[in-house]
Amino acid sequence: MSELKITIDGKAVMVAPGSTILEAAKTVGVHIPTLCHLDLHDTKMVNQAASCRICVVEVEGRRNLAPACATPVTDGMIINTRSVKVLNARKVVLELLLSDHPKDCLVCEKSGRCELQDIAVKFGVREIRIGKDGAQSTYPVDESKAIVRDMDKCIMCRRCETMCNKVQTVGALSGINRGFNAVVSTAFEADLLDSVCTHCGQCVAVCPTGALCEKEHAWDVVRQLADKDKVVVVQTAPAVRAALGEEFGMEAGTLVTGKMVAALKALGFDYVFDTDFAADVTIMEEGAELIDRLTRFKAGDTSVSLPILTSCCPAWVNFIESQFPDLLNIPSTARSPQQMFGAIAKNYFAEKYNIPREKMVVVSIMPCLAKKYEAARPEFNNDVDISISTRELAHLIKRANIDFNNLPEEDFDNPLGESTGASVIFGTTGGVIEAATRTAYEILTGETLGKVDFEELRGFEGVRSATVKVGDMDLNIGIAHGLGNARELLEEIRSGNPRNFHAIEIMACPGGCIGGGGQPYHHGDTEVLKKRQAAIYTEDKNKAIRKSHENPFVKELYANYFEKPMSHKAHELLHTHYEKKDKV
C-alpha cells in the first residue's frame, strides 16, 4: 500500500500505513510528550496503554483530542500538536497526575531521573490547583531483597505490566481494581517475595517514576568501609565496566575498567577483585559438567539430562524454579560467578591470608537486581554480604566527590583479579556458552583452537541456535535472552527437544547482563545495549589470555585447593541445588 500524506503543525509528511501520530511526528522533528508510551523495538515491547493522555493532539474534524501514541494516521489527516486546547488539556492531565502523587521528590530514588518530574519542569508547573484538600490513593510499601514497590507513586502507565507479562512472560504484575482504587499489583496483592516475580528488575528499568526502584544498599557499604575491624573485599561484574561511564557523561559502550578500579580503591576497599576471575572458575565447573554429560551421552547413557542449561543468571533460576519445576534436573548445578566468588573469597582467600571469616565483608557490584535476591538465599551462607548495582556504584563515587573522568587507570588486585577474555563475555547474550565452548572444545578434542571467536553464537536476536563442530560431534546450542524467549525454548524442551539441543544459555534480561535491571537507564534505546555489547567483545579481544582454563591463578586455585573441577570440595563450595517454588 502506498504511503499516506498527512500534515503535522503545518508540515506535510508521507508516512507508512499503520503509523501512529506519535511515530509520524518524530519523522518531522515534532516532539510530543509521553509518559505511558514506550517502544523497545528490539525486544518487541510496545506499551500503548494510552492511559496517561499527556500525548493528546488535535485532529481536524474530530471532536475529542486524540492520544498520539495509539491513534493511527489516515490519509489527509491534519494534526495540531500545540494548539491552546491541546496545551491546556495536557496541563490539566499533568496536574491531575500530580494531585495524586507524593511530594517527596527530594528524597525519591528516581529524583533527577523521573519522567513525571521532567514533564512537570518542561510544563513549568509551579502549583497544583486540583485536589489540594482531596483524597490521595495510598498503599503499603512492598520491599523485597531487590525491589521496592511504592504504589503511591504509580501513575498507571502500565509499562511494568507490559514488560512483566508480554516481554518476560512472568505474570507477576497486573492492573487491578477500578477508578480511584485502580493500581498495578501482584495476584491477591501479595508481596513480591510471595509472587512469581523473578526480581529481574526490568520493571524498574521501564518505570517512569519512583513507583518501582531498586532496594538501596549503598549506605550499607559505606558503613562497612568505615568499620576498621572489617576487611572489605569488592568484586565487579563484566557488564559494569561497559556501562558505568554513562553515569559520568561518557558515550555508551566506553570501557572504564581501569578508572572503575581506581575509584573503588579511592573509596577505601581493602581488596579490589574481579568477578571475571570467578567467571573463569564457573567455566571450569560448568564446562566440566557439560563434558561429563556429553561423554556419558555419547557412551549410550540414557539417564543423562540434556540439554544442560547455564545457571549464571539468578532471575532465570527464579523463573525455572517457579514456572518450570519439572525441568529442574537439566540446569547446571554450578553457582553463579557472584556466588562462586563469595565462596572462594571467604574460604580459599581468607585462609590463605589468615583473615577470619567473620571479619571479611564481600561486596559485589552487579548490573542485576536479582543478584541482591540471590545473595540473600539461605543456601549461600552469606558468602556475599552486600550486592549493589552499577547505578549505586555511580552514586557512591559521586557522593565521595571522586573526579571519575580524570582518574588514572589502575589494575585489579591478585590473586582474584586476573581474568581471561572468556570471562568478560559473560556480560552479553551468548557469552557464557561461547566461553564454555572455547574450553570444552580444547578439552574434548585435545586440540588448540586456531580461532577462539565463535561468531555463530553472537548476535542480538531473542532466540538463536547454532551448531559447532567439536571433533566428530555436532554440538547443538540454543541461546535466549529475555524470559519470554527463554519460555519459548523451555516449552520446546518440554515437548521433547525436537532440535536436539545439547546446551542452552539463558539470560533473563534483554541483551544479557549489559541490559540488566541495575544498569544505567537506557530509556528504550537499544543502540545503547549494542554499544555495550561491542565494548564487551573489545575487552575480550584485547585480553592476553582468552580461554578460562588458561588463567594461571585459576590453575593455582585448583592445584592448591580444589584439586580438580567437580571435586568434593568444589561441589561443596561452587555448586548448588534447585527447588520447586510454589508462588502466585
Residues annotated catalytic, as ranges: 286, 289, 312, 332, 371, 374, 379, 513
φ, ψ dihedrals at 158, nearest 5°: 75, 15
Residues in CB range of 457: below 8 A, 6 or more apart: 430, 433, 434, 437, 464, 466, 468, 477, 479
Q: What are phi and psi of 79, to 5 degrees?
A: -125, 140
Hey, what's the cell of 451? 580461532
User: What is the side-by-side strand order in the sheet with 308-309?
Assistant: 308-309, 503-507, 473-481, 463-470
Task: Tell me if 488 sits within 8 A of 480, measured CB to CB.
Answer: yes
CA–CA separation, 260 and 49 (whole Å): 40
Closest of 169, 216, 214, 215 to residue 196, by C-alpha: 169
Give the C-alpha separation, 62 to 85, whole Å: 13
* Residue 136: other Cβ atoms inside 10 A: 12
DSSP summary character for residue 63: S
What torsion, rounded to 10 degrees, do the Cα atoms 95, 96, 102, 103 define?
A: 20
Is there a contact between 241 and 542 (Cβ–Cβ < 8 Å)?
A: no
User: What are the strands, taking DSSP E only, across 53-166?
Assistant: 56-59, 66-67, 78-80, 142-143, 147-149
Please state, in angstroms and rounded to a whole number, the distance separating the CA atoms of residues 400 and 573: 35
Where would I find the H helices in 446-508? 483-494
- Give the CA distances from residue 20 to residues 17, 243, 523, in Å, rounded to whole numbers and listed in that order: 9, 32, 20
DSSP H or E stretch at residue 4: strand 4-8
Alpha-carbon gap, residue 294 to 217, rounded angstroms: 42
Contacts 24+ apart (CB under 8 A), 3-8: 4/73, 4/74, 4/75, 4/76, 4/77, 5/75, 5/76, 6/73, 6/74, 6/75, 6/76, 6/77, 6/78, 6/79, 7/77, 7/78, 7/79, 8/79, 8/81
N residues, the chain: 584
Q: Which amino acid, residue 387?
A: S
Question: Cell triple for residue 185?
Answer: 499489583
For strand 4-8 and strand 503-507, is the pairing parallel, antiparallel, or unpaired? Answer: unpaired
